[in-house]
Amino acid sequence: MCLNNCPFFEGKINYGIPAIWDNGHGKTCIDFDISLEKLNADSDFMTVKVSHVPPKTACVDLPAMWMQTPINYNLEPNNVVNIQPRTDSLFNITVGSERIDVELKVELSTGKILSGHLVDSLDLEERLCTDDKGQSCGDARRYKQARRTSIQSKQFELNSPF
């Protein structure tokens, strides 16, 4: 494993390809920002941050004007849309901005992930609409969602049954 003058990519990857989820009702689109947060060759680890961020221009279809107005405080373009048909011929339409930050602590000598932390933050606006394009809708309801996940590597003794 390289410990000095190692090549490491840092920067932005403009991915910008929509991902489809929720049986085709939802779409999201992201770019990546990658950075080396800490390198400690003496302690044999580095910390890498990978952020999944909204692209500079929207790459999901946002047909109504209200869908195009940025939801988050950073004024990043909306990169999430979900159009849910209901049984009463109405549609729940949700748009917003999603950002996922992943921080990994990696052992330099082996490449083993020692720990990882993921924070998924969403700023969303939801409306009840009479059409699937969001042209005729009721009042907006704004809210935030956040998910946090962590992993930690576990050391096993050679005589461990696991």
User: What is the reported pLDDT for 1?
Assistant: 44
Q: pTM score, two decimals?
A: 0.83
d(CA 34, CA 15) in angstroms, rounded, equals 13
- The domain segmentation of the chain, as residue ranges, is 20-152
How far apart are the C-alpha atoms of 27 and 19, rounded to whole Å?
5
Does 9 score more than 80 pLDDT? Answer: no
Distance CA 78, CA 97 (A): 5
Alpha helices in the chain (DSSP H): 65-68
Task: Decide if pLDDT at 28 tops 70.
Answer: yes
